[in-house]
Amino acid sequence: MLRLHWSESAFDRSVGTVIDWLALAESLIASPWLYAVLIAVSFLDSFLPLIPSEPVVIVAGVYAGTGQTDIVLVIAATTLGAFLGDLLPYAVGRLLGARVLARMPPGSRRRKAHDWFVRELEARGGFVLVTTRFIPVGRYLATLSTGLVGYPLRKYMLFVGFATASWSAYTALTGYLGGVVFQDNALLGIAVGVGLAFVVTGVIEAVRVVRRRRGVAAPDPAVD
């Protein structure tokens, strides 16, 4: 089995948490328990920013490229964990939604922001939930806010199911590609996988910002 050695001395406490998860995943590469770790880390990452799951999933994908893990099971486990994790902030938002709305008087800035988000979800809820899943901070805000405004559960589960499946497949296959190309150098494969993940996430965020700016800049239609 290929082994990677990580040094914690050069990183801060939050990155140390990532390294612990990576070490745990690596120690279980040849064990079925690896998939339980993937479920757990992707579940926690849905609402705890200090436990990012992408590096762990990429590592599992890299080893799938060398034949030591099953890429289908990696994607399935990660999807399950992420899907269940995204239900938690939504549920919290639904529980707090009435209280939060009561503190937003009609006409206030917060009430206008709330109403704007409701309209955005009605118009393009799928786009919002799918794209924010690829943005670490965005996914937390979107899932909680979606619950706060009372977005329908059935539609939420549908879009989140697609979002988590596509995110899981993208993340794991990014690592898998690195593992196939760099079978003799797992560390380089992981580095390439993480780099690709950052590039794609940056592109998605850039597209989102451009779309938002165009929407703001668009003039209101003339009223006869």
| 79-111 per-position pLDDT tens digit | 999 999 999 999 998 998 878 777 777 777 877
Domain annotation covers residue 2: no
Q: Name the nearest CA neighbour of 95 among 164, 50, 153, 162.
A: 153
Q: Dihedral through CA 195, CA 199, CA 168, CA 212, nearest 10?
A: 160
pLDDT at 158: 92
Domain annotation covers residue 216: no
Which residue reads 């099971």 in tokens? 73
Q: Among 66-80, 107-121, 140-154, 172-186, which stretch is predicted with the lowest mean pLDDT?
A: 172-186
Domain annotation covers residue 190: yes
pLDDT at 3 over 50: no
Distance CA 167, CA 203 (A): 14
> Are 186 and 63 contacting, i.e. CB atoms less than 8 angstroms apart?
yes
> Are 148 and 91 contacting, i.e. CB atoms less than 8 angstroms apart?
no
CA 151 to chain centroid, in Å, comes to 19
Domain annotation covers residue 220: no
User: Both tokens of residue 61?
Assistant: 């994908």
pLDDT at 112: 76
**Residue range 164-179: mean pLDDT, rounded:** 85
- Host domain of residue 94: 13-208
Q: How many CB atoms lie within 10 A of CB 97?
A: 17
Domain annotation covers residue 108: yes
CA 132 to chain centroid, in Å, comes to 7
User: Both tokens of residue 191?
Assistant: 């580095």
Domain annotation covers residue 5: no
pLDDT at 27 over 50: yes
Domain total of the chain: 1
Domain annotation covers residue 35: yes
CA dihedral (188, 189, 193, 194) positive or negative: negative
Q: Dihedral through CA 60, CA 66, CA 72, CA 73, nearest 10?
A: -50
User: Could you read off the pLDDT of 41-85 as tens digits, one per residue?
Assistant: 999 998 887 777 888 898 898 888 888 889 999 999 999 999 999
Q: Name the nearest CA neighbour of 128 among 213, 55, 211.
A: 211
Q: For the whole model, what pTM was predicted?
A: 0.71
pLDDT at 218: 47
Domain annotation covers residue 214: no
From residue 21, give the alpha-carbon distance in Å to each of 41, 79, 118, 186.
Answer: 8, 18, 37, 17
**Residue range 196-219: mean pLDDT, rounded:** 56
